[in-house]
Amino acid sequence: MMRESGILLPVSALPSKHGIGKLGQAAYDFVDFLCSAGCHYWQVLPLTPTSYGDSPYQSPSCFAGNPYLIDFDILADRGWLSHADYDGIAWDSDPDVIDYELLWRQVMPVLRIAYQNFAKRKPAAFKKFCTEQKAWLADYALFMALKDAHEGRAWDEWEPELRLCRRDAVATARKDYRTEIEFWQFVQFCFFSQWDSLKQYANQKGIRIIGDIPIYAAFDSAEVWAKPKLFQLDAEKKPVAVAGCPPDCFAVTGQLWGNPLWNWEGMAKDGYAWWLGRIGFTLRLYDVVRIDHFRGFERYYAIPYGAETAEHGKWVKGPDFALWKAAKAAFGDMNVIAEDLGNITPAVIRLLKRTGFPGMKVMQFAFDSDAENPYLPHNFETSNCVCYTGTHDNHTLRGWVKSNTDETNAYAMRYLGVKKPKKLPKAVLRAAWRSTAKIAIAPFQDFVNAPPSDRINTPSTLGGNWIYRTDASEFTPKLAAKIREMNETYGRLNRTDEQPADAQKE
């Protein structure tokens, strides 16, 4: 079995002088860093547009790419922008964090300038892109045009004919907003052109991309607006119940996500056609796909619509293996990682085994009980798993040590053979790489011993999330050499960069 490794770092966190990470030179430089570090994977998390709470898990589309990530320099190279269109703008209020409000005000005007120049001579590739992506792009572009026309208000605040997506009203809107619709199609054309080039470069360097399928769609999304039959909605398109998680030791009132629930019973009638389309799209977008909240396919937690907390929900049977049986029939063997964290029952374990997908082992969950803890490396029942030091929802390792009880840190020090709590982050990293898991992954923060403030996301909180940024000075040859040494020591070294150029091309 090949042993592999990777680094988790959202594109948004890459070094940038334009307020947020982009799909330009810094992204290519990070691929080179991964290559020199001897890693196999770059885990990017969702690339979808952010919305409520600045989270890509609450997106206006299940398919679209985030406009903020479009690189202006690449657009300038194509002749659609001049550097004066964007270099004189103040892109951040604090260079250490992402200011989404500022981006919301300033990115789109620059992209509109690019569109005006693009529209003078549209490349043939644009029409091809719109045709190939019509299944989702047509509704998304209209949805965004209408949101702009309604000053950004959610679709359930639009006039009744459009809110309910009446056929005549939609047909009229497609004519009235033709130019605006094309602008949003252009934005997606730019995003996917840049993403495809970056992914091709990464693959040529021997680096594979791990992406993400969030299990739920946001209520204020093109999918809920245009395809309400996919969801559990009433006649007025209000949710019957919403998604979340029950109370546990991490959230005493549970997690109230608020997403509408899928109408699994209805989708089963056409063999889960829409979900198969989504899975197929994502498998083409990435090399490996992490399925978010995998246990929700076996049973999902339904919270009454309007509830203020998640305390009074109930578990409801989901599609279970039927969806994945259909996916396997459509796509064969799939490169998938199942996020099997949280309330895991024997039925969820059976589903995971039937799919054959590797699950996740998170080291930060390993030391808060005893030697029977399933996240401790000696308890991994199979190597068919991915060992993480932490995920985007966890503390940095340094923050984790600080937040732990004395008892947890004491047990972790005994288990890992270190004498001081400050030695734990490095020891946890090495334990993950030393484990029998076929893939070991850590957030970039854990390689640089980042402080608690560099955490990406804190679940069940609003504000201050997804703002993490890196600086170019952090990606040093010395750090790459340290990671490479760890990969070599524990049999996880990607030697692609040592092959002759001709071999890489093959």
Nearest one of 443, 356, 346 to 400, comparing CA atoms: 443
For the question of residue 132 being annotated catalytic, the response is no
**Token couple for 33:** 């860093």
Please give the full DSSP string across 171-226, using - where no structure is assigned. HHHHHHTHHHHHHHHHHHHHHHHHHHHHHHHHHHTT-EEEEEE-SS--SSSHHHHH
Q: In angstroms, what CA-CA distances link 404 with 290, 395, 397, 407?
A: 28, 11, 10, 8
Q: What's the pLDDT tens digit per position in 173-224? A: 999 999 999 999 999 999 999 999 999 999 999 999 999 999 999 999 999 9
For the question of residue 339 being annotated catalytic, the response is yes
pLDDT category at 301 given cuts 50, 70, 90 is very high
pLDDT category at 318 given cuts 50, 70, 90 is very high
pLDDT value, residue 53 = 85
Q: In angstroms, what CA-CA distances link 314 with 83, 218, 242, 303, 406?
A: 54, 20, 11, 7, 35
Say which DSSP state 5 is in: E
pLDDT value, residue 506 = 33
From the number of C-beta atoms within 10 Å of its C-beta (0-12, 13-18, 19+), residue 188 rates as: buried
Catalytic residue among 54, 339, 340, 446: 339
For the question of residue 236 being annotated catalytic, the response is no
pLDDT category at 343 given cuts 50, 70, 90 is confident
Other beta carbons within 10 angstroms of residue 298's beta carbon come to: 21
Percent of the chain with pLDDT over 70: 98
Region 239-248: mean pLDDT is: 93
pLDDT value, residue 8 = 98
Distance between CA 403 and CA 418 in Å, rounded? 18
User: Looking at per-residue confidence, does 503 or 400 come out higher?
Assistant: 400
pLDDT value, residue 497 = 65
Average pLDDT, the chain: 95
> Residue 504 above 50 pLDDT?
no
Distance between CA 305 and CA 307 in Å, rounded? 6
Contact indicator for 60, 225 with CB cutoff of 8 Å: no
pLDDT category at 500 given cuts 50, 70, 90 is very low
Residue type for position 169: A
> Residue 443 above 90 pLDDT?
yes
Distance between CA 200 and CA 198 in Å, rounded? 5
pLDDT value, residue 342 = 82
Residue 288: strand pairing partners:
210
Do the strands 299-304 and 314-317 form a parallel or antiparallel pair, or are they unpaired? Answer: antiparallel
> Residue 499 above 90 pLDDT?
no
pLDDT value, residue 267 = 98
pLDDT value, residue 452 = 97
pLDDT category at 460 given cuts 50, 70, 90 is confident
Mean pLDDT lowest among 24-38, 81-95, 475-489: 81-95
> Residue 503 above 60 pLDDT?
no
Distance between CA 158 and CA 236 in Å, rounded? 13
Nearest one of 273, 292, 404, 234 to 48, comparing CA atoms: 292
pLDDT value, residue 461 = 84
pLDDT category at 501 given cuts 50, 70, 90 is very low
Catalytic residue among 292, 320, 368, 497: 292
Q: In angstroms, how far is CA 374 from the centroid of its own chain?
A: 25
pLDDT value, residue 51 = 87
Contacts by 340-346 with C-beta closer than 8 Å and gap 24+?
340/294, 340/295, 341/365, 341/391, 342/245, 342/248, 342/293, 342/295, 343/245, 343/246, 343/248, 343/295, 344/295, 345/295, 345/298, 345/299
pLDDT value, residue 251 = 79
Region 390-397: mean pLDDT is: 97
Contact indicator for 468, 448 with CB cutoff of 8 Å: no
pTM to 2 decimal places: 0.96
pLDDT category at 1 given cuts 50, 70, 90 is confident
Catalytic residue among 287, 393, 446, 454: 393
Q: What's the pLDDT tens digit per position in 128-171? A: 999 999 999 999 999 999 999 999 999 999 999 999 999 999 99
> Residue 505 above 50 pLDDT?
no
Q: What's the pLDDT tens digit per position in 93-140? A: 899 999 999 999 999 999 999 999 999 999 999 999 999 999 999 999
Return the domain boundaries, the chain: 227-358
